[in-house]
Homo-oligomer: A and B are copies of this chain.
Amino acid sequence: MSERTEISTLGEFGLIDHLTKNIELQNVSSIVGVGDDAAVIDHFGKQTVVTTDMLVEGVHFDLMYTPLRHLGYKSIVVNLSDIYAMNATPTQVTISIALSNKFSVEALDEFYEGVYAACAKYGVDLIGGDTTSSQKGFVISVTALGEISPGKYVKRSTAQQGDLLCVSGDLGAAFLGLTFLEREKKIFLENPQVQPDLEGEKYVIGRILKPEARKDIVEFFEKSALQPTAMMDVSDGLSSEILHICKQSNLGCVLYEDKIPIHEDTKNAAFKFQLDPTACALSGGEDYELVFTIAQADYEKLVLNEQISVIGYMTEPEKGKKIITKGGNTFDITAQGWNAFS
């Protein structure tokens, strides 16, 4: 039998001590960490990049099929992804959680194991936070800080006409992983004897439960002296993100369906659910890949990285935001993928 320690036995300050006692600060920029009114950081002449994201039980995650360790990991990673999307290096995080007394200290430890695993993997320091009770449900709020050389950050609004439109990794898997878990949950609720067979879906499930942020891509830019002209991460779905870049940069674009990178396991999962893999990639979201634009002159440097796909290019705004399908038809891109009736 597993142990259960009530959070109330530790008290607020005891709990904070328990959760933070093993922290060793990794970054020279972390001057003061957990344990005071505020933390102090010094990026020594670099600029500081800040982002924040909130995850709510029942809205962003379902504890029925989300291991707490993975949830802790993901809470950090989705924020780091936003820092990388500015072309910056994450250095610190704060994490605040509100949770009901249905959680034990052991459950919280599992969650924090994931938090610390993500911090270790990405080399960031946990420097602060807040732990409080909630009447119902689990709410997580993370703020991530990063650093960048002055002026090297990449916004969404600065793409140029003629730039190549690119994306890292592959798309659509997280959405199919979620679809699969939701189906298994439904089956389980109807018949708790049935155990789910996750074997063939490892890739897509891993993409939703334990996403990674594209540290490697930002490091590749640095090493190759590449500066994207615009960039953001794929949290809502490729088409939604592309529309943001077009709108904020006041440009149009052409996207080629056959260039959109989709993993074989994602395609197989889509076929099982009778879904179109392209639609999953365009509208699925939560892939945490980087979508970016880059000058055509940089093409030769770019193709050295197999993790980057060129999927289209930026046009003058009057040309609209278009996708050219495998069949050669042209449609308007919409936030839901594309609208075949426009």
Q: For residue A85, which residues in chain B have a CB less than 8 angstroms away from its CB?
A: 37-38
Interface centre among A39, A40, A53, A97 (most CB of B within 10 A): A40
- One of A28-36, A165-173, A186-194, A256-264 contacting the partner: A28-36
A200 is an interface residue with CB less than 8 A from chain B: no
A58 is an interface residue with CB less than 8 A from chain B: yes
**Cα distance A133–B48 in the bound complex, in angstroms:** 29
Also in contact, A37 and B150, with CB within 8 A (given A60-B132, A128-B51, A135-B59): no
Interface centre among A36, A60, A150 (most CB of B within 10 A): A36
Closest to A31 in B: B47
Q: Mark A94-137, 1 if CB is under 8 A from B, else 0.
A: 10111000000000000000000000000000011110111111
Does B134 contact A56, Cβ atoms closer than 8 Å? yes
User: Could you say which interface size class chain A belongs to?
Assistant: 35 or more
**Cα distance A94–B54 in the bound complex, in angstroms:** 12
Does B38 contact A83, Cβ atoms closer than 8 Å? yes
A311 is an interface residue with CB less than 8 A from chain B: no
- Closest-CB distance, A55 to chain B (whole angstroms): 8
Q: Mark A218-252, 1 if CB is under 8 A from B, else 0.
A: 00000000000001110000000000000010000
Does A37 contact B96, Cβ atoms closer than 8 Å? no
Does A153 contact B50, Cβ atoms closer than 8 Å? no
A to B CB contacts below 8 Å, 23 in the list: A36-B86, A37-B82, A38-B49, A38-B51, A38-B82, A38-B85, A38-B88, A39-B49, A39-B51, A40-B49, A40-B153, A41-B50, A50-B94, A52-B130, A52-B141, A54-B96, A56-B134, A58-B135, A59-B133, A59-B134, A94-B143, A96-B141, A135-B137
Supply 14 further A-B pairs (C-beta < 8 A) apart from A52-B141, A134-B137, A143-B143. Answer: A32-B155, A37-B233, A38-B49, A40-B153, A42-B47, A43-B43, A48-B48, A50-B92, A53-B130, A54-B139, A56-B139, A58-B135, A130-B141, A136-B136
